[in-house]
Amino acid sequence: MERRGEMRAADADRQLVAERLRLAVDEGRLDLYEYDDRLRAAYAAKTYAELDHLLDDLPEPVPAQQAEVARQGGAVAHDPSVPAPDGRYPGATRQWLVENWAPYFSVVTISVAGWAIISMMAWEVLYFWPIWVAGPWGAVLLASTVSGLAQGKPQRVAAQRARKKAAKKARREQRAEGSDQEPGRASLPPLGEREGWQLGGKAD
């Protein structure tokens, strides 16, 4: 177990870390810039040690009912997938913003890094072409964000996600109930112990 950190991580491990980082943003533990940096590092990680380092300062996620800090200003913390008493989904806006803006920040960061590397190799400051990546895309994304917030899209997306989660849970429960209700196969006693039978044939 001491060598676990040196072992190679799989794609499934990177995806689990990426999901934990997304939850950390939704919980308010990371901002968008920290999330973007750690997400890129997670997908570039080669070993378990590199993945573990990204989660060192993040506590394990727990249900809202078991959270150490259940109340803040008199308000009870809620599961983001469960609507609050007023019918709204807590953290829906933050999660929607992260899902919409994270790809933008990732691509812009990579573009700027590429421009910087090429400029250093050329020993001169080249034309800042990443502006054509960040500018038009950012303008369109900003307009769609403002429009989505005005129309309450984060809450609709959260409600749709909650319905899908509930439907998936119901299907799992139905499959579990169906498997429990399947008649089991009757097991025969060991050969030679069956009533009225012997190894050489039917008993007289």
Can you give the pTM of this predicted structure? Answer: 0.46
Beta carbons of 64 and 77 less than 8 angstroms apart: yes
pLDDT band for position 115 (cuts 50, 70, 90):
very high
Beta bridge partners of 201: 198
For 37-64, how does the pLDDT look when each residue is reduced to its tens digit (9 = 90+)?
888 888 888 898 898 888 888 887 655 4
Q: How far apart are CA 1 and CA 83, in angstroms?
A: 41
Q: Which helix (H) or strand (E) holds 182?
A: none
- Average pLDDT rounded to a whole number, residues 186-194: 47
Residues constituting the chain: 204
Task: Specify the amino acid at residue 30.
Answer: L
Sign of the CA dihedral with 19 first, then 23, 26, and 32 last: negative
Residue with the two structure tokens 């809450």 = 155
Tell me the backbone φ, ψ of residue 192, rounded to 5 degrees: 100, -10
Q: How far is CA 197 from the centre of its chain?
A: 60
Predicted confidence (pLDDT) at residue 180 exceeds the cutoff of 70: no
Beta carbons of 22 and 100 less than 8 angstroms apart: no
